[in-house]
Amino acid sequence: MKLPARQLLLDGLPQFGFFADSLTDADGRDDCSCDAFGQPRSALAKAMQYKQFQYFGGMSERFIFGCALVDLGYCNTVFAYLFDTASGELFSRSVKRPGHLGMSLSSSPLSGVSRFQAGDLTVEQTYDAEPRCKSLILHIGDELSLTARMPETGFEPMSLCTRAGYHGWVYANKTAGLALDGELVWRGQRHDLAELGAMGHHDFSCGFMRRETWWNWACLSGIAHDSQGQSHALGLNISTGVNETTYSENCLWLDGQCISLASAHFVFDAQDVLKPWQVSTLDGRVQLEFTPLGLHKEKLQLPLLKSHFRQIFGRFEGRVEIDGACYTVQGLTGFVEDQFVRW
């Protein structure tokens, strides 16, 4: 049974489980959970330990792009990228600021606006409840300009809160497999997202996460075909690591319907992530091979923050099976991630 899609906290404590829809209030900073010795978090601990991520991405045959707004409490960071599958070129920009400088984030994936501005980098993510839609406006100087809309009418998001550590928790709201419209301007050339056949995905996550954690994540959005050759919108979200206590966030979307999946398994060479990956779920519903085309990476070793992040762009081949029906995945663009972080 799914929880009502209202607020995240009830009487000061997070509600664990799947929600019926995106939350109208996902702000969990007033959490009253106690540690193993009965002590609640101090105001300083809440300010330093509460994390938020809001990531908007898109994929097409030609381009893979994404933009993330990240608030770690003691600092914030933004990264944006565009990967050209034709040339193998990666254009990216990353900015880090102390505290919340330059950034404001919506507390709901259903309604609100998140913004960041620094120098020639401007980001705005908008969440509209009526009609249901997420959008991204991104400008990086004269090199990159992007306006993308992802209508979500009739779409079923993955909306879940799980424990993380003894008294931590993570709320995750994710979507994938949705058609995009809008415009990409890349070095003076205009590209219509609908004409490119671009499809989008979004990740809204927040909570008191483990001080040290890791994850592998696979995401794709595209068109798969059934045994009769019929086309179906497919989105995939599977991961291991950060969000694996009791409930699993692993799921796929088939024509807008969210379908839960079992635990995921990633087989890859950690010393050479540009070799092919095997991505599957233990229920056998997902069997994919991922062939890398490019890599975005960052390694940090700072007093409060240590991170080794690798996001690999490429193509998926294989199949997914739902209720006895098999859907072929043939050359769909997407990405996988390998991340270690101590924050």
What domains are there in the chain, each with its CATH number? 9-342 (2.40.370.10)
Q: Helix (H, G, I), strand (E, B), or coil: what is residue 64?
A: strand
CA–CA dist 15, 51 (Å, integer): 18
pLDDT of residue 244: 67
169-196 pLDDT, tens digit per residue, is 999 999 999 999 999 999 889 999 999 9
pLDDT of residue 20: 95
Residues 6+ apart with CB under 8 A from 308: 298, 299, 300, 339, 340, 341
Determine what percent of the chain falls in helix, strand and coil, rounding each to the nearest 5. Answer: 5, 60, 35
pLDDT of residue 1: 83
Asked if the model's pLDDT at residue 60 lies above 70, the reply is yes
What's the average model confidence in pLDDT over 56-76?
Answer: 97
Mean pLDDT of the chain: 95
Give the closest residue to 108 by CA, choosing from 178, 206, 12, 10.
Answer: 206
CA–CA dist 314, 218 (Å, integer): 11
Asked if the model's pLDDT at residue 101 lies above 70, the reply is yes
What's the average model confidence in pLDDT over 234-249?
Answer: 87
Asked if the model's pLDDT at residue 150 lies above 70, the reply is yes
Q: Give the pLDDT band (50/70/90) at residue 5.
A: confident
What's the average model confidence in pLDDT over 91-105?
Answer: 94
pLDDT of residue 221: 97
Give the closest residue to 97 by CA, choosing from 67, 126, 71, 123.
Answer: 71
pLDDT of residue 242: 75
Asked if the model's pLDDT at residue 3 lies above 70, the reply is yes
Least confident of 32-46, 122-136, 226-240: 32-46
Q: Helix (H, G, I), strand (E, B), or coil: what is residue 37?
A: coil
First to last CA, the chain: 34
